[in-house]
Structure 1
Amino acid sequence: MTQAPARSPSTLVLALAGTVLLLLGAIGGWLFESRRMEQAVRTTLLENPEILPEAMQKLRERETGKQVDALAAKLTEPFPGAVLGNPQGKVTLVEFTDFACTYCRASVAEVEALIAANPDLRVVVRDMPILSPQSAEAARMGLAAAEQGKYAAFHKAMFAAGRPDARTIAEAARSAGLDMERARKVIADPKTDAELAANLDYARQLGFDGTPSWVIGDQAFSGAVGRDVLQKAITEARES
């Protein structure tokens, strides 16, 4: 059997040099194409600046959607009793609210209408007291009401009473028929403040910086978005 002649060192060097040149040419072409695409994107944004807010909104929605998925099990598990609507409902709407928030107060009737229109709707309320120290006091009393199975009554009475202060909180507690001795024990329990801290942390992770804010299915909304937007999201969550 005859053997192929061995390549000389100079032949090997030339072959290696050729391979390197081919690789450099491919990389150079990729870099050129990448820079050209970058320039095209830049030109498009400069000529159509109105698309940038829309793109940023889409990015925020995508990132929020990921956070909703990650927090879903925790978000939809309420503080015991802090639920409106059907406690066994198969569709869950999570509402972040503050008793001192005028937009939250305006949303009460809309949530009631959604509950009436959707018998399978379960509303998990997450008190997010950010507007005043009295907001936190009202939220603690709300959780005390939840422990007594009277959250819905207190929630409605507290919003109807006006901005929270010592008088309106006491008035709402009386209206809801709370046992105040039991309520004071719940208010003093560390788990109550831990719940409020957890709600604030969930809101931070979701990018919420105000109330009302909402989560349903894989969608999140900030502000008083209105009944129609929430109903659409409820229908989509039900059908998913």
Structure 2
Amino acid sequence: MKRFLATTALLMLPIAATADGMDEDRIKELVLEAIRENPGIVFEAAQLFEQQQQALQAQAAAQVLDTEKATLENDPNAPVLGNPDGDVTVVEFFDYNCPYCRRVKPEMEALLAADPNVRVVYREWPILGDGSVFAARAALASRNQGKYEEFHWAMMQLKERAEEASILRTAEDIGLDVAQLRRDMNGPEIEEHIQTSMRLAQSLGFSGTPSFVIGDSLAPGLIQADQMIELVDQARAAE
């Protein structure tokens, strides 16, 4: 408890000293004196500051979830896999060139096999270069031919980087009309989906792919099927 109080005092000292009208040199002397007497509090102060920042980020994310839940879970311009009438929604932000997103593929398939009452909303979030943008546009455009799900899984098992040539070859392999696909890639709904993904990801504090929203929980990074199932169960119990 004493060390916690000392750490808190170190963080609050400059603020209190400034309020008392103390000059900058004296504030520095007091801080250095506190550190000399308790050298371990520097590390503890950094930890406490990080915890405070994480708490503030969690609070901000909760507010975003509250205001953006309808867009996250029911955006008519976002692809839905799994059970469209499922009682729990898993939202995944992903990039076709993200190796961790590709590693999530079997985990997501395992979740859908284990729980037929889950719906998955995909947010195309192309942040890894021009190839990623082309892939996202192609995937979203494939909806017009009723082949998003097939194209999505095929892209997720590419053994090479997603670039124009490999993307169009994959489209041909699953029977897409490539000429139509190219035309549809420029539709305004494509740009709208990508921009909405960018806005939502930034608001939620996501810094990379994959990132998940499951109920009221944020799960950035690669997660296993059992972790997904646990979060789905928590979301279902909270309803």
TM-score range, shorter chain: 0.7 to 0.9
Report the residue type matching 1:179 in the other structure: D
2: distance between equivalents of 1:89 and 1:177? Answer: 29
Q: 1:127: which partner in 2? A: 124
Instruction: Give matches, 1:93-104, under 5 Å.
Output: 93-104=90-101
Instruction: Tell me whether 1:42 sits opposite 2:39 in the alignment.
Output: no
**Mapped contact 2:124–2:197 kept (Cα < 8 A):** yes
1: distance between equivalents of 2:55 and 2:78? Answer: 35
Instruction: Give matches, 1:4-153, under 5 Å.
Output: 41-42=8-9, 46=41, 48-49=44-45, 50-80=47-77, 82-153=79-150
In structure 1, stretches of 5+ residues that fail to align are 1-37
Deviations, residues 141-175 of structure 1 (Å, cap 9, x unaligned)? 10011232211111111121231112210122123
1: distance between equivalents of 2:96 and 2:220? Answer: 16
Measured at CA, do residues 40 and 81 of structure 1 come closer, stay the same or move farther in structure 2, by a change above 3 Å? closer
Report the residue type matching 1:100 in the other structure: N
Q: 1:217: which partner in 2? A: 215
Tell me which stretches of 4 or more aligned residues in structure 1 moved more than 6 Å. Answer: none
Instruction: State, as a whole percentage, how many aligned pairs show the same letter.
Output: 36
Measured at CA, do residues 80 and 96 of structure 1 come closer, stay the same or move farther in structure 2, by a change above 3 Å? same
Deviations, residues 64-106 of structure 1 (Å, cap 9, x unaligned)? 1111111100111245571221122111000000001001010
Q: CA RMSD in A?
A: 2.4
TM-score scaled by structure 1? 0.77
Instruction: Tell me whether 1:172 sits opposite 2:170 in the alignment.
Output: yes
Deviations, residues 26-74 of structure 1 (Å, cap 9, x unaligned)? xxxxxxxxxxxx9783259937444443343233222211111111001
Q: Secondary structure at the match of 1:100?
A: coil
Q: 1:237: which partner in 2? A: 235
2: distance between equivalents of 1:115 and 1:224? Answer: 17
**Mapped contact 1:87–1:122 kept (Cα < 8 A):** yes
Q: Secondary structure at the match of 1:76?
A: helix
The count of residues paired between Structure 1 and Structure 2 equals 204
Report the residue type matching 2:9 in the other structure: R
**Mapped contact 1:141–1:187 kept (Cα < 8 A):** yes
Q: 1:205: which partner in 2? A: 203
**Mapped contact 2:93–2:209 kept (Cα < 8 A):** yes
**Mapped contact 1:145–1:183 kept (Cα < 8 A):** yes
1: distance between equivalents of 2:90 and 2:174? Answer: 23
Q: Secondary structure at the match of 1:71?
A: helix
Report the residue type matching 2:114 in the other structure: A
1: distance between equivalents of 2:76 and 2:181? Answer: 15
1: distance between equivalents of 2:98 and 2:235? Answer: 27
Report the residue type matching 1:168 in the other structure: S
* Greater mean deviation of Cα atoms: 181-190 or 139-148: 181-190
In structure 2, stretches of 5+ residues that fail to align are 13-40
TM-score scaled by structure 2? 0.77
**Mapped contact 2:125–2:194 kept (Cα < 8 A):** yes
2: distance between equivalents of 1:186 and 1:140? Answer: 9
**For the pair shown, which has the larger CA radius of gyration, 1 or 2?**
1
